[in-house]
Structure 1
């Protein structure tokens, strides 16, 4: 019998292994656990940006249509349990630790050198089988081909939302390299919904799809007005902020159309309700904190930074006081160039518990590459908000880990 302290220690020790791509360990672990991944109907979603939003839309739609829906996402914002959800509700903490205890026994008995993400992924599969989900929406953690979620032999649908530059140290330096890694989730004869990607990336993906006889459903630029997306003769209210969310919603709706062809009962009115009910915290989210209305967004890579800047400009929120932290693996110069405009101020902060770019170094990069801005290095995010001038719009961004730290500190309600 595994005791609670032993389980806690086991989980804490996993964190030191970091990210190690590869399928050998997770396949070995899942074999000992009875291959639970083969007992769940799955939509498998990858992409540089937009995959989390698409997963959120899909899960909300499927729940609204009456299906018991599992959702697996990463990273979490505040609590690990957010990563594994049933119908929008995180796994109960008692179930989390109970199933983790089962996994610990298997890992110990067979000496499997697993990572934290692999253990959480295995936990997710066991929980979804135990709860008897009707369907699960699974977000890839990193890349696709060698990601621990890529153990699904027969997904209902695969989705690639976008291809951009991120995690180049693991996925390759070119868009075609990254596209090849993400196309690694494709499975023979299973349909792919592909978002808008560059022609070279599209060629790589479509070549892989052709080799595997995968039907490819491509996306047209979305037709929308105000907060309504027009899709296949119907209007859908899009609740998430930013013009890019129309595209993410359209990708989700194309996947729903494909599911409908496979026999799933997905009435238009319930799909509309599901889209309208979608929530995706930490992405273009307005909150009240320390007496100020603050915009939160991950914006952790150049493309995401560009999307955030476009939203700022479209909403005429200038000038901006940025509160920014970046992980060491991120392309700091490209992110800063896409975010910072003359007249902005920026306070660089650490991201506790993670390997981050030193605020002082980011200050140097910002003043060198982004003329006309004022930059400071700060000790922590909470010290900055209280001194921001009223003439600036406060925006906290650069890492979902930083956003999670802020959300954990907030006790007031979210601004509608």
Structure 2
């Protein structure tokens, strides 16, 4: 194992687990074999159903603006697996990735236990960050929270974006069960900030905070609208760290430009036409997208929206957001084995008002949009869909295309698909 792609292939070797362990012990044992790097890190951990990656990115931007050294771990990636590991705005070098994979896989093999790709990637991230000696790391939970590999870190602040019912097979299906899993990132005697949540969700977060003797802060208070509470969340996290002396009081030398993450409400011009690209997949993400579309075009202007969803998402409520006469909806197939078939989406989710077209091949749907009459084209539904769109539109540097294509081929290969992802039992408190 000498090259980056060889190391990535090693990290993605198939493992089979008879069940998903409702414990962090295996992850703790793995990290102990590589020096328990999590103990050297001061961490902000973010969970939720929508906007996790963007929130992580914005918190990291605030910390960087204060001249701090910051690690950022997010998932999934768009084009390169290395996007998940960032220190001071730079992705992990290939040589460091190769070395880290060697360290982590050797530790896993010595334990004789099967670890998932995400668990090993998380161990790699913590190992690499500890070597960089950051002031703060910002870590995104992969799935749920309570038993997620990232939660092995004793965070200094838990951050909650909006929580919805999601991942029914993995997190129990009910909103209360999902909230219980996510509430598990609150640590004993710790601190947490949350956006405005549905009543049941907030009650579960509050109960967990009380159980852990932790402090839970509601961003903006009870009377602030959801969207404003969510916009203030990164700043609320920053202020919490500031008030507790976790980060120093420094005056920002210039206005902070958060910009946008690639593939998240990203606006570009393609052949003179406006294109809006968004990989959000939840109903709440669809509502955010609709708000942005309306801001750009008003209430009535016709819009073409190309949608490629995955088969484990809430397609019904996502699609319903766009069932309006102004929308020409093109249902297509997202890349990968988890794609929802556009024909099934059309049959199972009848539309009352929108014009609907089925174009199975995503690349064909994108090319067809070049000749469409609408002035705004939207590409949405999953990060896999928007990744291909960005590559097709030439938004990725040519030098990075080979890595992007090789990475996608690896994750859609037969060996990787042999993995099992058994469900977590639904649990609520």
Give the TM-score normalised by structure 2: 0.84
Match of 1:183 in 2: 183
1:46-92 Cα offsets, whole Å, 9 max, x none, are 11112222111110111111111000101111101111101221111
**Cα displacement (A) at 1:265:** 1.1
In structure 2, the CA distance between the partners of 1:391 and 1:365, relative to structure 1 (3 Å rule), is: same
In structure 2, the CA distance between the partners of 1:156 and 1:401, relative to structure 1 (3 Å rule), is: same
Segment drifting more, 291-300 vs 55-64:
291-300
Q: Alignment length, in residue pairs?
A: 390
Give the 3-state SS of the residue equivalent to 2:209 in structure 1.
helix
In structure 2, the CA distance between the partners of 1:17 and 1:94, relative to structure 1 (3 Å rule), is: farther
User: Is residue 2:269 matched to residue 1:269?
Assistant: no
1:265-322 Cα offsets, whole Å, 9 max, x none, are 143435x634x24442211111234653211012301111122122222333532211
**Cα displacement (A) at 1:190:** 1.0
* Runs of at least 5 residues in structure 1 that lack an aligned partner in the other structure: 225-242
Match of 1:353 among 332, 336, 361: 336
Match of 2:378 in 1: 395
Match of 2:193 in 1: 193
**Cα displacement (A) at 1:345:** 1.6
C-alpha distance in 2 between matches for 1:157 and 1:103: 26
1:205-244 Cα offsets, whole Å, 9 max, x none, are 10110111111111127999xxxxxxxxxxxxxxxxxx97
Match of 1:302 among 283, 286, 297: 283
Match of 2:358 among 352, 370, 377: 377
**Cα displacement (A) at 1:199:** 1.4
In structure 2, the CA distance between the partners of 1:222 and 1:269, relative to structure 1 (3 Å rule), is: farther
Match of 2:172 in 1: 172
C-alpha distance in 1 between matches for 2:272 and 2:113: 49
Give the 3-state SS of the residue equivalent to 1:339 in structure 2.
coil
Deviant stretches of 4+, over 3 Å: 2-9, 14-22, 221-224, 243-249, 288-292
User: Is residue 2:117 matched to residue 1:136?
Assistant: no
Q: Is the 8 A contact 1:18 1:116 kept in 2?
A: no
C-alpha distance in 2 between matches for 1:223 and 1:88: 36
In the TM superposition, what are the counterparts of 1:13-412 in structure 2 within 5 Å? 13-14=13-14, 20=20, 22=22, 23-153=24-154, 155-220=155-220, 246-263=228-245, 264-270=247-253, 273-274=255-256, 276-289=257-270, 292-316=273-297, 318-366=301-349, 368=350, 370-388=351-369, 389-412=372-395
**Cα displacement (A) at 1:403:** 1.2
In structure 2, the CA distance between the partners of 1:351 and 1:306, relative to structure 1 (3 Å rule), is: same
Q: Is the 8 A contact 2:15 2:115 kept in 1?
A: no
Give the 3-state SS of the residue equivalent to 2:306 in structure 1.
strand
1:7-55 Cα offsets, whole Å, 9 max, x none, are 3542232488899564343222112111111110001111111222211
In structure 2, the CA distance between the partners of 1:147 and 1:304, relative to structure 1 (3 Å rule), is: same
In structure 2, the CA distance between the partners of 1:259 and 1:412, relative to structure 1 (3 Å rule), is: closer
**Cα displacement (A) at 1:381:** 2.1
1:315-370 Cα offsets, whole Å, 9 max, x none, are 3353221111111101111111112312422222222223111111112234x2x2
C-alpha distance in 2 between matches for 1:404 and 1:21: 32
C-alpha distance in 1 between matches for 2:6 and 2:279: 34
C-alpha distance in 1 between matches for 2:226 and 2:383: 18
**Cα displacement (A) at 1:167:** 1.2
In structure 2, the CA distance between the partners of 1:158 and 1:15, relative to structure 1 (3 Å rule), is: same
Match of 1:233 in 2: none
Q: Is the 8 A contact 1:326 1:332 kept in 2?
A: yes
User: Alignment RMSD, CA only?
Assistant: 2.7
* Runs of at least 5 residues in structure 2 that lack an aligned partner in the other structure: 398-429
Q: Is the 8 A contact 1:60 1:278 kept in 2?
A: no
**Cα displacement (A) at 1:112:** 2.1
